[in-house]
Structure formats: structure tokens, C-alpha cells
Amino acid sequence: MSMPRVIISGGGTGGHIFPAISIAQEIKQRYPNAEILFVGAKDKMEMEKVPQAGFPIEGLWIAGIQRKINFQNLLFPIKLVASLLKAKQIIKKFKPNIAIGTGGFASGPLLKMANSMNLPTLLQEQNSFAGVTNKWLAKDANSICVAYKGMEKFFPDQKIRITGNPIRSKILAVQDYTEKNAQQEAKKQFDLDSESPVLLVVGGSLGARRINQLLASKLDFIKENNVQILWQTGKFYIDEYKNLETKQVKVSAFIMNMEKAYQAADFIISRSGAGAVSELCVVGKPVIFIPSPNVAEDHQTKNAHSIVNENGAICITENDLEDAFKTEFKALINDLEKQKKLSSNIKKMAKPKATSHIVDEVEKHWNFKL
């Protein structure tokens, strides 16, 4: 029996890698005999995360252009040519039916070469501001799956499909994050009082220095308002903040069972990376986004505003935290109607079947017949 052969490329950050893995898992679920090969950048996190998920990966000698002039930038043209040649070899050997790109520099040479070899290609763009690589590849792609409206600014309109971003299956498995008994049980699991409100604070898997600093400086204010705190500092900051743990404040480097943390939360403070935003739409709790200013094209602010513009969340920039945080937080926790409205509106933007819709689109284009 013939089986589909799919090559997937994307990486550099979790925001590109985990959607790629989710797409691969959905293909495997539909076609257990499917052959899937990942292509990433050597020495980047995909070389570790993809094999952990059970898929083979090949590495290319590619890296992005740095903003400051250095030796690595001088090597870029050489790396690009070498990566294009290696990508051609990989494609000729693997003979895929389609190539899928989820962004990041590694996907550039692979998808560019796939197009030149007349392979169908599909792009998945997570952010509301398109990445450089996907913009470069868009002209020749068969379909471009996006999470936000208004992406015709970056891509050919007729190729855009609004599917949403892939979401971790554990997050999707929770039927109702607001169910009262389940929320009380989740609070008990974190050794928190089941009746008092909980603020969940996450700054991405590695943590966010500015959010941690904010929380440390506002702990007394938050506790005075009878709010408990579930605080993920990130592994680089745990030693600095672990000593602030009390009965009312739970501090950890990384929360493994994030679905339970979402369930326990009454309010959430988060960065606004594409993956986090997509998950928080499914969770449907009142959110204060604090976008990272240290990302390409300030895309986290644009992600956050796509929700704020629908009255689905609050956004405070890092520059405004000192002036605005206390006022915004107090207004939120004291206004039940505002909480309900934010929750209802952000949930309307959820796309829990995103991965399935993306693979539906893959099936339309791949050179494969059962």
C-alpha cells in the first residue's frame, strides 16, 4: 500500500517547532504509515525537540542575519547556497509528496528548493505580522494557513486560509476551563485555597525578566487584594525568585501540567507569542498581555492588539507597566462584568480545530493518491 511522504521544515524557536510537530502528529493520526521527515537548522532547538517527539530530522547549515554587523553575517550567502544544495539532496533522496514550512530560517532553503523542483508547498504563519521567511516564500506557495485576519498585507489573498494555530492536545483535552468544581480541584492540586481567586503568571517557557521584576515589585499589592499567585518564572530566574514563595504565592521554574494551571486561574498575565495567544483563546479567562518588545517587527504587540481590538483582553506595554499595572489590575479584579465580557470575547476567537484544518489543506495539494 502506498503512503504519503511529507517533509516539514521550521524552527529556531518553539513558536515554529511545536506547530510543525502538531501538524506531523495529525498526519500520522490520519495516515499511520505516513513517512515524515523534518528539516531544521543545525545547532537549533528543533534538533532536540523533533526527535523527542519521535520524528527524524536533518540539519542545514543556516542561520538568520544578525542586526549588528559581524562575521556570521558575512557567512550568510555561503550558508544559504550550501543549505539550498543540501535541501536539494534531501528532497531528491526522500521524494516527498509535499513540503510544509512553519517559519524560521531553516524553512527558507528547503521550501525554495521544493518550489524549484515543482513540489507543492504549504506555509503556516503563526503571527499577525508575517515572518521574513514566509514572506519570501509566499509567491510560490500553494496555500498559506494563517491565524489572523488582515494577512493579505503580506500574502497573496487567494492563497490565504484562516485556520488558526495548532494547539497542544493536552490543552484541547480540557472540555471547560471555567467549570467551578474542576477549577476548585485544580487550585487544590497547586496547594492553593480553592475559594480565593488565582492569578497565573507565565512569561514563556524560558521566562520573562520584566514580568518577573513586575511581579516581585507588586507582590504585596496583589496579596492585599486577596489574590493568590501561580508564578512560572522560567528556568533562568527561579533562583532569584524562589525565596518569595509563601502559602499564597507558588513559584516554579516551569509548570508541566499547564492545562491544570489554566484551569486553576481566574486571571492570567502572559506574553503574547502566537502559541500563547492561541491557547488563551481556547482557555477563555481574562488576560493581561505584556508583549515582549525584543522580537522581530514587534509582532507580539500586534498579536495582542488583534485580541484587544475585539475587546477580548487587556494589553500593557513594558514601558507603561509602572504607571498602568495597578490601575488596570484593580479595575479588572473588581469588575465581574468586565471579566465576563473579556472571557466571552476571547473565546469567540478560539480555533480549536486548527491542526485538523491545516492538514485538510495539505491533503488538497499533495501529490498523493490512496
Q: What is the torsion angle, in degrees rounded to the nearest 10, for the CA atoms of residue 186, residue 173, residue 161 and residue 363?
A: 160
Domain at 5-167+352-365, CATH from 3.60.20.10, 3.40.30.10, 3.40.50.2000, 3.20.20.150: 3.40.50.2000
5-167+352-365 and 169-348: identical CATH topology:
yes
Average pLDDT in the chain: 91
Q: Is 111 within 8 Å of 123 (Cβ atoms)?
A: yes
Which residues define the annotated binding site for UDP-N-acetyl-alpha-D-glucosamine?
Answer: 13-15, 127, 168, 205, 255, 300
User: Angle, nearest 10°, between helix axes 336-348 and 321-333?
Assistant: 100
| 12-26 tens-digit pLDDT | 777 888 899 999 999
Which pLDDT does position 66 carry in this prediction? Answer: 44
**Residue 77 DSSP class:** H
Is the per-residue pLDDT at 64 higher than 60?
no
Hey, how many other C-beta atoms are within 10 angstroms of the C-beta on 340? 11
Count the alpha carbons within 13 Å of 269 in the hemisphere toward its beta carbon: 28
Query: What's the mean pLDDT in 67-87?
Result: 64
Burial of 175 from C-beta contacts in 10 A (0-12 / 13-18 / 19+): exposed
Which residues define the annotated binding site?
Answer: 13-15, 127, 168, 205, 255, 300
Q: Which cell goes with 13?
A: 524557536
Mark residue 288 as left, alpha or beta (left: phi above 0; alpha: psi -120 to 50; beta: remaining): beta
Query: How does residue 84 score in pLDDT terms, banded at 50, 70 and 90?
Result: confident
CATH architecture type of domain 169-348: 3-Layer(aba) Sandwich (3.40)
Query: How does residue 67 score in pLDDT terms, banded at 50, 70 and 90?
Result: very low
Structural domain spans, the chain: 5-167+352-365, 169-348
Q: Is 168 within 8 Å of 352 (Cβ atoms)?
A: no
User: How many residues are listed for the chain in this entry?
Assistant: 370
Q: Which residue has the higher pLDDT, 80 or 224?
A: 224
